[in-house]
Structure 1
Amino acid sequence: MFLALEDDPRENGPSPGNERETLKEFLRCQRLTLEIKCSGLDAEQLARRAVEPSTMSLLGLIRHLAEVERSWFRRTMAGLDAPRLYRGLERPDGDFDGAVVEEAWATWRAEAAFTDRFIAEAPGLDVVGADKDDPVSLREVVVHLIEEYARHMGHADFLRELIDGRLGQ
């Protein structure tokens, strides 16, 4: 186990009340899971790729999830001109190439903070953004983000087991 149950910050967290608080709590727990899966690893371990030809690594997941939060919340929901951080036409796997660990964590935390502020300040979950000119509600985006994290936490389990044999919980 990564943590004793009594030390797990995902347990006994804020008690969800309404729909917004419930979604925020599920997102908080997914983010904490990413941090737990990456804890105690050095830069080389975080950058270790799964198996060839895959470019996936834990460091890449940190960067990818920062990019996902940025795309959905800065561009789609807030309508900001926020260029991609890592990927582009010439670097389709840019999320998973290179990077300094501290920079990746700082970027991820900044994007998560923007997301949290947007969710907290939105008048409601029915606020609409534009995803490629199709309207999408804040509710849909938050649920999608939780799903994105959950899917990648399965990848993180396998990556961590490959690195040091630790199994997910």
Structure 2
Amino acid sequence: MTEQPARWTEATVYPDMWADPDDDPRNSEGPSPDGELGSLQDYLTNYRLTLRMKCEGLDAEQLARRSVPPSTMSLLGLVRHLAEVERHWRTWLTEDEPLPKLYGKRDADFDGAVAEPAVVEASFRDLEREQAATDAALAGYADLGERVGKDGVAIRELLVHRIEEYARHCGHADLLRECVDGRVGQ
């Protein structure tokens, strides 16, 4: 029988938080963003930060650890998966053929999430690059109701779908991180 890690948090103010409010990069003082687009972008930014926070301080083995067997899901797999889907979402904007997959065949994003520092570094670079490319592609659309691509998807739908994808996977990241080293928090 394997020993489970003890639950812990770095927060001292609120014991159910990941970090104290003064140390949390997602906390912002002042007014909320103006308008629908600003609100959507703010939520996406915060979920992206949450994923990074859940991965911070772990080595390659911990990031690649499949914490909930028989699942192939790992924190590193989530990073790779989100890089892959960011790339795919750009396909929604055009009528062109889809871009080639970053990691090859189906599920290679999770299957290829191996405990090698070079793979970790490349995966985070891939995620940053694909996020920036999708953000840049979407910046050209001022009307959130504009329908684009082969399926006539509204820009708003794509933005909301991105938030949903990150939110869902940040929930997975909560559990995966807790299984790795016991760290808990929002």
Q: Could you tell me which residue of structure 2 aligns to residue 51 of structure 1?
A: 68
TM-score, structure 2 length as denominator? 0.81
More helix by share: 1
What is the distance in 2 between the residues matched to 1:28 and 1:87?
27
Cα distance, 1:142 vs. partner? 0.7
Partner of 2:111: 97
Amino acid at match of 1:76: W
**In the alignment, what sits opposite 1:114?**
133
The CA distance in 1 between the partners of 2:95 and 2:21, in whole Å, is 40
User: Within the alignment, does 1:32 sit opposite 2:49 as a pair?
Assistant: yes
| 2:85 maps to 1:85 | no
The one-letter code of the counterpart of 1:97 is D
Task: Return structure 1 stretches of 4+ with deviation > 3 angstroms.
Answer: 78-81
Q: Is 1:7 the counterpart of 2:23 in the alignment?
A: yes
TM (norm. structure 1) is 0.89
Q: Displacement of 1:115 after TM fit?
A: 2.0
Residue type at the aligned position of 1:167:
V
Seq. identity, %:
54
**CA displacement 1:81-131 (0-9 Å, x = unmatched):** 41111242xxx221112240010000000111112222323232123233x
* Larger Rg over CA atoms: 2
**Deviation at 1:47?**
0.2
Distance in 2 (CA, whole Å) between partners of 1:147 and 1:16 is 19
Once residues 121 and 63 of structure 1 are traced to their aligned partners in structure 2, the CA distance between those partners, rounded to angstroms, is 26
Report which structure shows greater RCO (CA 8 Å, sep ≥6): 2
Consecutive unaligned residues of structure 1, counting only runs of 5 or more, are none
Cα distance per residue 1:36-78 (max 9 Å; x no partner): 00000111100000232210000000010111111012x1114
* Contact 2:47-2:166 at 8 Å conserved across structures: yes
Aligned residues: 163
